A and B are shown apart, each in its own frame.
Chain A
Amino acid sequence: MSERQANQRAGAYQAHFRVWRGDADGGGLTDFEVEVHEGEVVLDIIHRLQATQAPDLAVRWNCKAGKCGSCSAEINGRPRLMCMTRMSVFSRTETVTVTPMRAFPVLRDLVTDVAFNYTKAREIPAFVPPADLGPGEYRMQQEDVNRSQEFRKCIECFLCQNTCHVVRDHEENKDVFAGPRFLMRIAELDMHPLDAAPASGLDRKSTAQDEHGLGYCNITKCCTEVCPENIKITDNALIPLKERAADRKYDPLVWLGNKIRRRTE
């Protein structure tokens, strides 16, 4: 049996791929005919292109198991992880188009500059450990950590950041908007049962609104739709954070309390 026959028996076929190639100065889609085998994902095909046709094709990837969040791209216009997109979701005759994430500047080919996200991460105040508890003394109930644990499933693929319409086509909003991933980080810390931020004078809810652009979010849930971890970003993180922020803002007692505390500090 020839190699070709063996491949056919194993379900191999030729697919048509269009991959964006270029850099900050510009680029375009390049066409490839490439072999696909049973069970493969889009990242396998990109790797085959590297090994056989385009050795310098730039792609960012690590674990190839949906755990590290490195291989984010847009496949036929949909933001996805290349390692978790199986070729079987496309018909054999369909052209598969792979382009870099649109909201971030291109470095080369499928690799974008995601520095925006690291900048935003630094702007979120860290967990504040309770002063009266030492290591080993933390006691928390599972039901109380469930909510924050859901948000800590985030693999930082930045697909939500890429998709969110507040920044996707509005470069000018990037300065004032942390994006769903980092608003969710604020919610995570705010819901942490032992976070001592309030005791330290930090009100995470109001900073979400005042400093990190929570108000820009108009809950269209695009972030939730693209999340490969199926985190309910909008329903479980952003909306509760908005409600809490609103409570604070419009509750006259809270308002008064804040004024007094600030004055006495």
Chain B
Amino acid sequence: MAHVDRQTWDVVVVGAGGAGLRAAIEAREAGMRTAVICKSLFGKAHTVMAEGGIAASMGNANENDNWQVHFRDTMRGGKFLNQWRMAELHAREAPDRVWELETWGALFDRTADGRISQRNFGGHEYPRLAHVGDRTGLELIRTLQQKIVSLQQEDERDSGSYDAGLKVFQECTVTRVLKKDGRVSGVFCYQRESGRFFVLEAPAVVLATGGIGKSFKVTSNSWEYTGDGHALALLAGAPLINMEFVQFHPTGMVWPPSVKGILVTESVRGDGGVLRNSDGNRFMFDYIPDVFKEKYAQTEAEGDRWYEDPDNNRRPPELLPRDEVARAINAEVKAGRGSPHGGVFLDVSTRMPAEVIKRRLPSMHHQFKELADVDITAEPMEVGPTCHYVMGGVEVDPDSAAATGVPGLFAAGEVAGGMHGSNRLGGNSLSDLLVFGRRAGLYAAEYVAALRDRPAADPRDIDAAEAEALRPFSAEGGGQHADRGPAENPYTLHQELQQSMNDLVGIIRREGEMAEALERLAELRVRARRAGVEGHRQYNPGWHLAIDLRNMLLVSECVARAALEREESRGGHTRDDHPDMDRRWRNVNLVCELADTRADSGEADPALGQIRLSRRETPPIRRDLLELFDKDELVKYLTDEELSR
């Protein structure tokens, strides 16, 4: 233990995407010495992949827009399972978070009168997404990165050191949140480059680690998305909610195989792109669900008119929320009306002149040209569903982003649960990152400022974390589990996990398959104990993957267990054996907690389930928020008993 370097900070932020960087800025501006830890280089976080835009009801493109309309759309998109207070705060604060970015140097696309341009997106009633072509995430991450650099420049002027008040530890990974007497005391980390361990002692830790997509085979997510924050929270004793809700984005690339899953932005549809099956039909008109019947065009002619005259026409069904579109594509392919490589056709070439396509969708034009030899200005794309986003995550207090039951632990962005309910609307992620990233940083700073004493990291916990991280090096010969079987290749284990989750807990779910998934996960957990690596600790990807497997196996079990339990279909959870939405399930959150607090400390039996599931009723929606909806609509979601309250 003595050889593990220890540093003291006020707030530690885990993750340097939109939520993490926004949290760090807020904590630093509140006077806290703040450390950011990220797995990749500074500025490479998965947020750069976001394409379409940031949803905020600024009303620049349609003055009828306001936070109440945005709130309504968000609740509808999430099928009313959303933590309504989070949805309210998000809708109210998103415009301020976008405007603030301009004061830090962001350059959004403009309207004719010089304000921030806003585009249409699925599930949003008005054009609402602030954007920069189709590279909005890059603009967001670069703006936050440059704001952080500007704060570091201030610190350098004042103290002579860029890193005095705000430091980024890049290419470092946290493997444990440390606690003392129930409160957060810091994090245990390793540095990628050297393999060296270190501890950052801090009374407040903000988890901003993003999602879990790397547990699935076909995904739009990068290698970083291994559910680290979800697992760190579980291991620290904080519950996760809504883990059964996984968003499959309807349009990922399907060919060539090596790029299968890479995202095709929803802006393609927002700007006029249409979906067709192999018969050439715009099949989405056949898939408008009852709850949305009044809000979507019934004919192609009406849908086409909407782009020019949205006040007198209804939007085309290509712009239904993502869960609806993904299921429809899945059904078309299954019915034998798919494209040659197992997707459907997404076409802009017949809808817009080539020059407009290149200007509005430059990344898509580039991506298809370079990776698939497809010129999207001349021919349709082939697209199909891809695992994109997890709605579930750490249960948090809606106002402060504090995790339940672990003082000092906060979570923001994709790793936090509740905000998006059962399905997230496009564009609501970037705004979520900014709104709740800021809140997490603010309340973490408040929490630290109010402390009278700071919990110290326990040397025994540091030793245990070190032993856990080093276990893959002793898996072969002489290791404590060597007697149970040969060392396992972590890459093979990862591939088997991804295949299992894809096949058995994917976009359409069945009871028997999910039960089988749980059995396979148990078997993989046993084998993962023997995941071994070659070589040494310096920049060793095999070792890093062996460590990440713990996290992926934990969150995969959460997804499978919760999905098996929820016997209805809603948003990002579709049960073949329970195809209807059931109002009695609306106010039920499924809560995942660690079944055995020794889980994966080397003592718990990996063959046994690691996750305990319970049900929690959500608080009733505040009356003034309910009154934003017509009663006719509410009866589709709320039980008669809830309505009569």
A225 contacts B by Cβ under 8 Å: no
A148 to B146, CA, bound (A): 15
A107 touches which of B110, B133, B539 (Cβ 8 Å):
B539
Other-chain contact of A122, B105, B114, B133, B153 (Cβ < 8 Å): B153
Considering only CB atoms, which chain B residue lies closest to A142 in the complex? B110
Residue pair B540, A135 in contact (C-beta under 8 Å) = no
Q: Choose the segment among B363-371, B477-485, B594-602 that binds chain A (4+ C-beta atoms closer than 8 Å).
A: B363-371
A59 adjacent to B541 (CB under 8 Å): yes
Bound state CA distance, A62 and B225, in angstroms?
10
Q: Is B222 within 8 A of A39, CB to CB? A: no
Say whether A204 faces chain B, with CB atoms less than 8 Å apart.
no
Closest to B494 in A: A51
A84 within 8 A of B: yes
Is the beta-carbon distance between B222 and A64 smaller than 8 angstroms? yes
Indicate if the CB atoms of A68 and B222 lie closer than 8 Å.
yes
Q: Assess the B539–A108 pair: CB atoms within 8 A.
A: yes
User: B46 in the interface, Cβ–Cβ < 8 Å?
Assistant: yes
What does the 1/0 interface line of B491-502 toward A look like (CB < 8 Å)? Answer: 110010000000
> When the two chains form their complex, are residues B162 and A50 in contact, meaning their CB atoms are under 8 A apart?
no
Given contacts A39-B258, A62-B46, contact A56 B533 (CB under 8 A): yes
Asked whether B223 is an interface residue with its Cβ less than 8 Å from the other chain, the reply is yes
Contacts of A66 in B (CB 8 A): 366-367, 370-371
Q: How far is the CA of A192 from the CA of B135 in the complex (A)?
A: 19
Q: Decide: A62 near B40, CB < 8 A? Known: A38-B257, A107-B539.
A: yes
Contact of B44 among A56, A69, A122, A192 (CB under 8 A): A69
Contacts of B536 in A (CB 8 A): 56
Q: Is B224 at the interface (CB under 8 A from chain A)?
A: yes
- Asked whether, in the complex, the Cβ of B42 is within 8 Å of the Cβ of A58, the reply is no
How far, in angstroms, from A133 to B102 measured CA to CA in the complex?
11
Q: State which residues 29-81 of A face B: CB under 8 Å.
A: 37-41, 44, 50-52, 55-70
Is there an interface contact between B542 and A67, defined as CB atoms closer than 8 Å?
no
Query: Which single member of B224, B366, B372, B540 contacts A62 (CB below 8 Å)?
Result: B224
With known contacts A56-B534, A68-B48, A84-B371, A139–B113 Cβ distance under 8 A: yes
With a cutoff of 8 Å between Cβ atoms, the chain B residues found around residue A55 in the complex are: 489-491, 533-535, 541-542
Contact B44 A41 (CB under 8 A): no
B540: nearest chain-A partner, CB-CB = A56
| B107 contact from A58, A65, A69, A148, Cβ within 8 A | A148
Whether B256 and A40, one on each chain, are in contact in the complex, defined by CB atoms closer than 8 angstroms, is yes
State in angstroms the CA–CA spacing of A184 and B545 once bound together.
37
| Nearest CB of chain A from residue B636's CB, rounded to whole Å | 36
Q: Any chain B CB within 8 A of the CB of A92?
A: no
Chain B residues contacting A113 (CB-CB under 8 Å) are: 193
**Any chain B CB within 8 A of the CB of A127?**
yes
- Contact of A152 (CB < 8 Å), options: B40, B107, B114: B107
**B528 CB → nearest A CB, Å:** 15
Known contacts A65-B367, A107-B193, A56 near B535 by CB under 8 Å: yes
**Chain B residues positioned under 8 Å from A156 (CB to CB):** 43-44
Interface residue? B508 (CB, 8 A): no
CA distance A39 to B258 in the complex (A): 7
Q: Is B577 an interface residue (CB 8 A)?
A: no
Q: Which residue of A lies closest to B116 (CB)?
A: A138
Minimal Cβ-Cβ distance residue in A for B97: A135
Interface pair B256/A38, CB less than 8 Å apart: yes
Say if the beta carbon of B126 comes within 8 Å of chain A. Answer: no
Q: Which of A107, A118, A127, A145 has the most CB of B within 10 A?
A: A127
**In the assembled complex, A121 has its CB within 8 A of some CB on chain B:** yes
Q: A107 contacts which chain B residues (CB < 8 A)? A: 193, 538-539
Q: Across the interface, do A56 and B543 meet the contact criterion of CB distance under 8 Å?
A: yes
Residue A136 is within 8 A (CB to CB) of chain B in the complex: yes
Contact pattern, B 515-558, Cβ under 8 Å of A = 1, otherwise 0 = 00000000000000000011110111111000000000000000
* B255 and chain A: residue at smallest CB distance: A39
Segment 355-387 of B: residues with Cβ below 8 Å from A:
363, 366-367, 370-372
The answer to whether B110 and A140 touch across the interface, beta carbons within 8 angstroms, is: yes
Question: Is A67 a contact of B107 with CB atoms below 8 Å?
Answer: no
A124 to B62, CA, bound (A): 38
- A129 contacts across to B, CB distance below 8 A: 103-105
CB distance from A140 to the nearest CB of B (A): 6
- Give A23 to B133 CA distance when docked, in angstroms: 40
B417 beta carbon closer than 8 Å to chain A: no
The answer to whether A58 and B541 touch across the interface, beta carbons within 8 angstroms, is yes
Interface 0/1 of B327-338, CB less than 8 Å to A: 000000000000
Residues of B within 8 A of A59 (CB): 541
Give Cα A32 to B437, complex, Å.
Answer: 45
Using a CB-CB cutoff of 8 Å, which residues 207-227 of chain B contact chain A?
Answer: 222-224
Give A119 Cβ to nearest chain B Cβ, in Å: 9
The digit string for B218-246, where 1 denotes a CB below 8 A from any CB of A, is: 00001110000000000000000000000
Min distance, Cβ A56 to any Cβ of chain B, angstroms? 3
Q: Of residues 126 to 147 in A, which have CB atoms within 8 Å of B's CB atoms?
A: 126-127, 129, 133-136, 138-142, 145
A63 proximity list for chain B (CB < 8 A)? 44, 46, 48-49, 222
A122 to B152, CA, bound (A): 8
- B193 and A141 contacting across the interface, CB-CB below 8 Å: no
Docked-complex contact A126 and B100, CB < 8 angstroms: no
Q: Are B222 and A145 in contact (CB under 8 A)?
A: no
Q: Measured between alpha carbons, how far is A111 from B192 in the docked complex, in Å?
A: 11
B258→A37 contact, CB < 8 A: yes
Q: B138 and A44: CB pair below 8 A?
A: no
User: How does the 8 Å CB contact mask read for B136-151 relative to A, with 1 for contact and 0 for none?
Assistant: 0011001000110110
Q: Across the interface, do A37 and B542 meet the contact criterion of CB distance under 8 Å?
A: no
Given contacts A55-B491, A127-B104, contact A68 B44 (CB under 8 A): yes
Q: Which residue of A lies closest to B256 (CB)?
A: A39
Given contacts A51-B491, A126-B105, A70 and B41 within 8 Å (CB-CB): yes
For B47, the closest partner residue in chain A by CB is A68
Bound: A39/B162 CA distance, A:
45
Neighbour of B49 across the interface among A51, A52, A65, A154, CB < 8 A: A65
C-alpha spacing A140/B116, complex, angstroms: 9
Residue of B nearest to A133 (CB): B103
22 inter-chain pairs at a CB distance below 8 angstroms, sorted by A residue, are: A39-B258, A51-B492, A55-B541, A57-B541, A63-B48, A64-B222, A68-B222, A70-B41, A84-B371, A107-B193, A113-B193, A122-B149, A129-B104, A133-B103, A134-B103, A136-B99, A139-B113, A139-B115, A140-B110, A141-B114, A152-B107, A155-B48
Known A-B contacts: A67-B138, A68-B49, A136-B99. Give 6 more (CB < 8 A).
Answer: A55-B533, A56-B534, A58-B539, A111-B193, A149-B107, A192-B105
* Interface, chain B (partner A; CB < 8 A): 40-44, 46, 48-49, 58, 95-96, 99-100, 102-105, 107, 109-110, 113-115, 117, 132-133, 135, 138-139, 142, 146-147, 149-150, 152-153, 156, 162, 193, 222-224, 255-259, 262-263, 363, 366-367, 370-372, 489-492, 495, 533-536, 538-543
| 9 tightest A-B CB contacts, nearest first | A39-B256, A56-B535, A127-B105, A126-B150, A55-B542, A139-B114, A135-B99, A51-B491, A58-B539
